């Protein structure tokens, strides 16, 4: 008996993950953090990720996440939406070695928990369905200090210590 499988090679890698406190004057809910992460296409080919393009430069990659519940095997889905009326929705090209940035706002209680990312990608713009990628798991890091600007909701990094 011969057992054969299709070889599987990594195409994506989480390069780094950072969090910082998020302060919004108009928000009265649980404390939040802003998580910034970068994901690299480590394959040798161009891959397309589902998302939305605003103008010629600003890109929003539809990357959702699952966070593991404390002390159990349950993973909670963190829903993300796109506003279809502003940008052009479709496949966004990500070249070999290219890094894509992702920003998420999470409740502070999730810091220290495990996260898995999920997103759709394809090898051509003509692929109507694509495939689902699961990337992770990794720990949501403790937030580094930041401060709020006098203008309101904008944040700037705190001075290096």
Confidence of residue 19 (pLDDT cuts 50, 70, 90): very high
The CATH class, in words, for 12-139 is mainly beta
**What is the C-alpha separation between 2 and 17, in angstroms, rounded?**
42
Instruction: Take residue 158 and report the two structure tokens written for it.
Output: 């705190």
What is the predicted pLDDT for the residue at 83?
59
pLDDT, tens digit (0-9, with 9 covering 90-100), for 108-117 = 999 999 999 9
Q: Please write down the long-range contacts of 51-55, taking CB distance under 8 Å and 24 or more positions apart.
A: 51/82, 51/89, 51/90, 51/91, 51/92, 52/82, 52/83, 52/84, 52/86, 52/87, 52/88, 52/89, 52/90, 53/87, 53/88, 53/90, 53/92, 54/86, 54/87, 55/87
For the chain, domain boundaries: 12-139
Over residues 62-107, the pLDDT tens digits come to 999 999 988 888 999 987 766 556 788 899 999 999 999 999 999 9
Per-residue pLDDT, 75: 93
Residues 28-50 pLDDT 10s:
888 889 999 999 999 999 999 99
């Amino acid at each position: 008996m011969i057992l054969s499988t299709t070889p599987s090679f990594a195409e994506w890698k989480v390069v780094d993950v950072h969090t910082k406190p998020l302060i919004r004057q108009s928000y009265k809910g649980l404390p939040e953090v802003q998580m910034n992460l970068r994901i690299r296409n480590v394959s040798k080919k161009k891959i397309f990720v589902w998302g939305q393009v605003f103008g010629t430069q600003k890109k929003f990659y539809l990357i959702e996440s699952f966070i593991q519940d404390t002390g159990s095997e349950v993973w909670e889905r963190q829903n993300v939406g796109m506003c279809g009326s502003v940008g052009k929705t479709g496949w966004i090209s990500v070249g070999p070695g290219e890094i894509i940035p992702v920003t998420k706002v999470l409740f502070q209680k999730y810091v220290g928990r495990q996260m898995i990312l999920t997103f759709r990608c394809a090898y051509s713009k003509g692929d109507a369905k694509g495939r689902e990628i699961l990337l992770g798991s990794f720990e949501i890091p403790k937030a580094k200090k930041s401060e709020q600007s006098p203008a309101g909701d904008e944040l700037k990094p705190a001075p290096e210590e």
